[in-house]
Structure 1
């Protein structure tokens, strides 16, 4: 049998094996609107809906679980989950996870501050002595994570972080720009909180699965189908609905300028 035929046979077997055994691919993720979230029991979001469409095209059934991010990582490590949605790439995770060649979306980490306690800044040096709200299990840029100039204080949820910021329990919080803007409207605090324009780091989000779990070819197929879908009008419509540019699109001049001014120019951290 020719090699290409063998590879196709293995791929087909991989894709069908879950259904044949009555199993579903177990994917975990943290609510991260507008990329992935639940609303009245319905799963939504740019990356969730994109992933669901790609898996449907591949004939793979998925069992989704929405959990705190630290729990998601723990389930990956113990084999209780097959993969994670909207995870960032890092050299450390490369040893245990397989990543498709195509990302789902792009994020930009920025800071938010309370209007009655403004802390505008242009570099990490300007954050000296402040307390920054973070999220457990998230890996930020090396300079931000290693800095001794300020204190990092985690909160169990993104909503809790914004609550602490409004009450003055932290000076700033760091999160993705779109996530932060979504929560300002969701929590009704847009008149109380402002986004600092300085980009701390920029990173791609992926669907990743555990290594050594027989899903190597499935990951390749997922990446190829994702890339194909992102060229279709349906993906453009989906992106527009969530106010996001396609991950493969060329950055605007404004985004490029912001990136050039980023605090962290080295390899950015990962969620």
Structure 2
């Protein structure tokens, strides 16, 4: 059995143990999003967003269970009410049909970096210079309103950011886009650092980050408890302390 399958099974077994203990847990649809949502070698979810959600659940007196899934499947679970909560997922009109992005927000918008192959001489200083490029994106991810809605851009979807870095290295795409912190970690990896370079162009998504609660979830009645717990964490500095674990990379 593959490692990812073993990790997913471990989290699902943990979920079943929680359910057996009494009240059904708050099921966290858990897509990996390094460095904020990761798993260690033992399959234990970790990272700042993970710890933030654990603390929210603790203060709201709710037990938390993790359901690992790629983003597109996580969103489907939320739509079906099979999962209860997501965190850090971009708020869009389509997603608001089945997810309630509750107040307060816990973080400001994000900076989006672009990478090219290190031997690509084409300039990428302005948005318009993106048009000749085939740009790697991750399936299901929303980046920025202008970028997402621009029909002149050519996009090539992949299941993960790692896949896009490999495609860029192999010359199958011309550029990739992702969160600045996430791309910095992968670009520094020995597999990629000599083959890719960061482009000068930087895009910004102003949408604040929120916890999302599935509208069709049986735990939707806990919305006020979750919002109250998060508000208390913002007021006492817990959120700032947890998010500081993922320091912003140098430009």
Pair in the same fold by TM > 0.5: yes
Q: Which of residues 215, 224, 234 is equivalent to 2:228?
A: 224
TM superposition shift of 1:39: 1.5
TM superposition shift of 1:182: 1.9
TM superposition shift of 1:199: 3.0
Q: Is the CA contact (8 Å cut-off) linking 2:81 and 2:216 kept in structure 1?
A: no
Q: 1:190 is matched with which residue?
A: 193
- Distance change (3 Å), C-alpha of 1:178 and 1:216: same
TM superposition shift of 1:187: 5.4
**Structure of larger gyration radius:** 1
- Distance change (3 Å), C-alpha of 1:120 and 1:28: farther
Distance 1:60 1:89 in 2: 24
The C-alpha deviation readout for 1:228-258, integer Å capped at 9, x for no partner, is: 213435444433322159xxxxxxxx99xxx
Residue correspondence of structure 1 range 169-248 to structure 2 within 5 A: 169-186=172-189, 188-202=191-205, 203-213=207-217, 215-216=219-220, 218-244=222-248
Normalised TM-score (structure 1)? 0.75
Distance 2:57 2:49 in 1: 12
Residue correspondence of structure 1 range 1-271 to structure 2 within 5 A: 21-40=22-41, 41-105=43-107, 106-186=109-189, 188-202=191-205, 203-213=207-217, 215-216=219-220, 218-244=222-248
Distance 1:140 1:241 in 2: 23
The C-alpha deviation readout for 1:19-66, integer Å capped at 9, x for no partner, is: 985311111121001111111122111111111111111111111122
Distance 2:200 2:225 in 1: 37
Distance 2:211 2:200 in 1: 28
Structure 2 segments unaligned to the other structure (5+ residues) = 1-18
The C-alpha deviation readout for 1:49-101, integer Å capped at 9, x for no partner, is: 11111111111111112211111111112222122222111223223211221
- Distance change (3 Å), C-alpha of 1:146 and 1:97: closer
Q: Is the CA contact (8 Å cut-off) linking 2:106 and 2:239 kept in structure 1?
A: no
Distance 1:74 1:46 in 2: 24
Aligned length: 230
- Distance change (3 Å), C-alpha of 1:118 and 1:175: farther
Q: Is the CA contact (8 Å cut-off) linking 1:101 and 1:220 kept in structure 2?
A: no
Normalised TM-score (structure 2)? 0.80
- Distance change (3 Å), C-alpha of 1:88 and 1:191: same
Distance 1:168 1:232 in 2: 48
Distance 1:196 1:227 in 2: 37
Structure 1 segments unaligned to the other structure (5+ residues) = 1-17, 246-253, 256-271
The C-alpha deviation readout for 1:105-129, integer Å capped at 9, x for no partner, is: 3422221112111444233321222
